[in-house]
Amino acid sequence: MGKLGFGLMRLPLLADGSIDIEQVKVMADEFMASGGTYFDTAYPYHGGKSETAFREAVVKRYPRDSFTVTDKLPMFSITEADQMQKIFDEQLERCGVEYFDYYWLHALGLNTYELSQRIKAFEFIAQKKAEGKVRHIGFSFHDSPQVLERILKEHPEVEYVQLQINYLDLYDEGVQAAKCYELAVKYGKPVIVMEPVKGGALAGVPEEAEKLFKQHEPELSVASWAVRYAASYDNVMTVLSGMSNIQQMRDNISYMKDFKPLTEEETAIVMKAADIIRNSISISCTACRYCVDGCPKKIAIPNHFALYNDLKRYGSAKKKETEEKYAQLTSQGGAASDCLKCGKCEEHCPQHLKIRDLLCEVSAVFG
C-alpha cells in the first residue's frame, strides 16, 4: 500500500450534492487498516469541503502520526502575496492539523510560475518548512517539459513533483508525461502521480481494449491496469486515486496491498489498449472541474464533454440516451450554446483544451 494515495478530489456525494461523510469514514478506515497512510487534498476540491471532510473522517479519529496529508497553495486563485498566509492558515484550520506533511504550489504552468516568482511563493513555502508548519515542499505541474525544466533548475529546494501520468497521456502533445517524468528523474525529484485513470476514462474503455485486459487477467478490474501502470515507474513514490465510493477503494486495495509492477508482456498489452482507446476519445477531458468554478454561465463543462464522448463512441446506440441526459443537464445549468467565449475556463484547464471551440462542437451536436 506504500504506493497508493487516497485522493480527496472525487469523494462520494449524497443526493443533495454534499459529501457523504459517513461513507468517507468507512473508506478511510479500510484504507488505513490495509496499510495506507497518504491523503491528498486541496483548497478548491469540492468547493472547499474536501479539507473539512478529511478533518472529520481522519484527523478527528486517528492519531496524527498515523497518517500523512498533502495540501496545496492554489496559485490559480492568488493574485497578491498577502493572500498566501491567509489561505495557509485557513487550510490548517479546515484540515484540523498543526502542520502539513507535504505542501505544494498547486497546478504550476508558465503563467502561475511567473506569478509564483513575482509574489515569492517558493520562498513562502520554504519559510513554512523552516517554521515546522510543513515537512516537505514541492509543486504539482501542468505544462510543457521546457517549463518544468526551468522550474527545477531555478528551484532546487523543492523535494517532490506531482505529475499527470497515465498510459494514454504518455506521449500526448498537451501533457507530454514521458518527457516530464524523465526530467523529474534527471533532477532527482520523486514523483507523485495524479490522474492515473485520467478522470475515470481508463476505467470504462472500449470493448476491444477491455477484452485485451480480461484475456490476460480475468479477475482484475480495467482501472487496475492504469493504476498499476503508473505505480510501476521506479521514481514514482505515490499514485493518487480519487476514489468515489467504497467499491473503488476495495478494488484499489485488492491489487495495491501486495503491489507487483507490470511485466513486459503486461506493458505491451497496455500500449495496445492505449492505441484503441486513443482512437475512441473525442475530447481528452479528465473531469478535474477546474474550469467550472469561474464560468459565468455555470456550464458543467466536463459533463457536456462526457456526453459528447459517449455519443461519438457509441453513435446511434446511445443517441436517445445521451440526448435525454443532455436535456436534464441543461435544465440544471448552462447549455454549451450559452458559452460567452470569455476564456476563463481555458486559463484553468490543466489539459490545455480549447474549451470554447469544443463547446461549439457540443452545441452543434446537441443544440
Instruction: Note whether 240 and 193 are within 8 A (CB).
Output: yes
Q: How many CA atoms lie within 13 A of 98 on its CB side?
A: 5
Give the CA-trace dihedral at 81, 180, 153, 191, to 10 degrees: 70
* Domain 4-278 CATH assignment equals 3.20.20.100: yes
pLDDT tens for the 367 residues of the chain, in order: 789 999 999 999 999 999 999 999 999 999 999 999 999 999 999 999 999 999 999 999 999 999 999 999 999 999 999 999 999 999 999 999 999 999 999 999 999 999 999 999 999 999 999 999 999 999 999 999 999 999 999 999 999 999 999 999 998 887 899 999 999 999 999 999 999 999 888 998 999 999 999 999 999 999 999 999 999 999 999 999 999 999 999 999 999 999 999 999 999 999 999 999 988 878 888 888 889 878 999 899 988 988 888 787 767 667 788 888 888 888 888 999 999 999 999 988 888 899 999 999 899 888 7
The pLDDT of residue 338: 92
Contacts of 19 (CB under 8 A, 6+ apart): 11, 12, 13, 46, 49, 50, 53
The pLDDT of residue 316: 67
The pLDDT of residue 207: 92
The pLDDT of residue 284: 82
Q: Where are the domains of the chain?
A: 4-278, 301-366
Largest CA-CA distance found in the chain, in angstroms, rounded = 60
The pLDDT of residue 52: 98
Instruction: Note whether 289 and 348 are within 8 A (CB).
Output: no
Contacts of 207 (CB under 8 A, 6+ apart): none
Instruction: Note whether 108 and 102 are within 8 A (CB).
Output: no
Q: How far apart are CA 230 and CA 168, in angstroms?
A: 11
